[in-house]
Chain A
Amino acid sequence: MSFFNFQKKQIFFVTKSFNEEMLKKSDIVLSPEFYWVKKITLNVKFSHEVKKMAPSLFEGSLPHNRFEYKVFKISTNNFILIAYDLKSILEELSSMKINMALVDKIYTIQSEFLKDDVSLKVNEDFGIITDESVVVYSPLRFLQTNDSVKNILKAKKLSSNYIYSQQFQKINISSKQLNIIILLLVLLNATVFIDIFKLQKDKKLFMDKKTSFIVSNHLPRTTFQIKSIQDELMHIDKSQKELRQSIGYIEKFRFLNSEFFKNLKFTKNKLVYDIKFETEQRENQFKTYLDKKINSYIFIEKNR
């Protein structure tokens, strides 16, 4: 495929009497016999403005209205217009036994020598010469040159102003279909842009919500800080709840009227009690009760 073909292509200057054999992929530069050229002076700034007027500027000089146009600005208000009928050109080249499968791009000699004045030999009878910015085909006797167009083109880097490209001709798709694809892609891109806008808005809302949640609850910013405070409070929660539960259990024991606390002391997670019991048996009952009820974080012992 020519996208990756970096080998230099051959360039042929083709006149209506061209009879060389093309053996590999080549570019063609057409002599002025194949198209119409006009130099005009117009008080407009851009080539595309001139292109819109091209059909009327050529009116009366073209055989039909199926021409395509190229416009080149050569200086302020000065433009070169080329009118060509690509279909006819391709038919004519085929009829000249040129293998079109080997033709990569077709250029006009006009577009390749826009700013240089040329005077070049094409064959023993004809040559080309720039006359007021327009390259014209002329009998050789009017030219004073020995330079051949063939040699000049061999060393020349061609412009991007081709009128035909095999690559793009292979794409069998109409201009209307291409326009629809462009429109669809523009719409898709616009949708994605809207999505990005929405997403950014959502993200901002979410971040605001997060910040206000943190501020309103006086929370630290990181999960790590939260966890550290939470661990500390969990420890307090566990020890304080168990202390209260333990005292609750002790209180629920059915003491006799003559039984009472002498003291009850809680400090450093240790609950020490001294209770006056009626009998030793009663005291053992209490101990069994406690053993059943408390498996505890709070350590309970009798004061001796």
Chain B
Amino acid sequence: MKIETKIYIISILSIVFIALQSYIYNENKQHKIEIENFKNFSDKASKLIVLQNLWDNKKHDKKLVEKIKKRFNPISYSIKGNLGKFLFKNLSNTEFTSLGKIILNSNLIIKKFDLKRENSKISLELEFKL
């Protein structure tokens, strides 16, 4: 092979090498940006998942609503879309205390909490979002 042919081959290989390196450099840069974006995304997503588990866990909420219905026997109960309503009457102090604890410790989104006492009996109107 002629010396000049070899020099041409070296030049071409060098150009190819520089081009490939530059491609790798750009790809790496892009890749790092994507990883950074994903970290950012996953941080936000993790916070969202925690919040969703707290306030958007319909399955859990439905179970709880069923439990309250069975245990405290509301006068009326309705659910329209994701909005639920309970009306309790003649609750004793003890019953109210235990119902109140369940509701306030739950993750039901309370829209309305209306307690009234007549004589020694308590009535409670509760609106919540599932």
A interface residues with partner B (beta carbon < 8 Å): 165, 167-168, 171, 175, 178-179, 181-182, 185-186, 188-189, 192-193, 195-196, 199, 202-203, 206, 210, 213-214, 217, 219, 223, 226-227, 229-230, 233-234, 236-237, 240, 243-244, 247-248, 260-267
Q: Chain A contact residues: over half helix, strand or loop, or mixed?
A: helix
Residues A203 and B31 in contact in the complex (CB < 8 Å), given A182-B9, A189-B17, A230-B44: yes
Contact between chains at B115 and A168 (CB < 8 Å)? no
Nearest 8 CB-CB pairs, A to B? A185-B13, A233-B51, A266-B113, A192-B20, A264-B115, A178-B6, A265-B114, A263-B116
- B110 proximity list for chain A (CB < 8 A): 240, 243, 266
Residues A178 and B7 in contact in the complex (CB < 8 Å), given A226-B45, A230-B48, A264-B113: yes
- A262 proximity list for chain B (CB < 8 A): 116-117
Residue of A with least CB distance to B48: A230
Residue B52, interface by CB 8 Å: yes
Contact between chains at B17 and A196 (CB < 8 Å)? no
Residue B72, interface by CB 8 Å: no
Contact between chains at A213 and B104 (CB < 8 Å)? no
* Residue from B45, B115, B116 within 8 A of A217 (CB atoms): B45
Contact between chains at A168 and B7 (CB < 8 Å)? yes
- A192 proximity list for chain B (CB < 8 A): 17, 20-21, 24
Q: Total number of A-B contacts with CB less than 8 angstroms?
A: 123
The docked-state distance in angstroms from the alpha carbon of A196 to that of B9 is 22
B interface residues with partner A (beta carbon < 8 Å): 2-4, 6-7, 9-10, 13-14, 16-17, 20-21, 23-24, 27-28, 31, 34-35, 37-38, 40-42, 44-45, 47-49, 51-52, 54-56, 100, 104, 107, 109-117
Contact between chains at B44 and A233 (CB < 8 Å)? no
* Residue from B6, B9, B35, B51 within 8 A of A175 (CB atoms): B6
Contact between chains at A185 and B20 (CB < 8 Å)? no
Q: How far is the CB of A244 from chain B (nearest CB, A)?
A: 5
- B55 proximity list for chain A (CB < 8 A): 233, 236-237, 240
- B54 proximity list for chain A (CB < 8 A): 233, 237
Residues A196 and B56 in contact in the complex (CB < 8 Å), given A185-B13, A219-B48, A223-B41: no
Contact between chains at B104 and A188 (CB < 8 Å)? no
- A219 proximity list for chain B (CB < 8 A): 45, 48-49
Contact between chains at B24 and A195 (CB < 8 Å)? yes
The docked-state distance in angstroms from the alpha carbon of A173 to that of B16 is 22
Residue of B with least CB distance to A203: B31
Residues A230 and B51 in contact in the complex (CB < 8 Å), given A189-B20, A223-B40: yes
Contact between chains at A226 and B6 (CB < 8 Å)? no
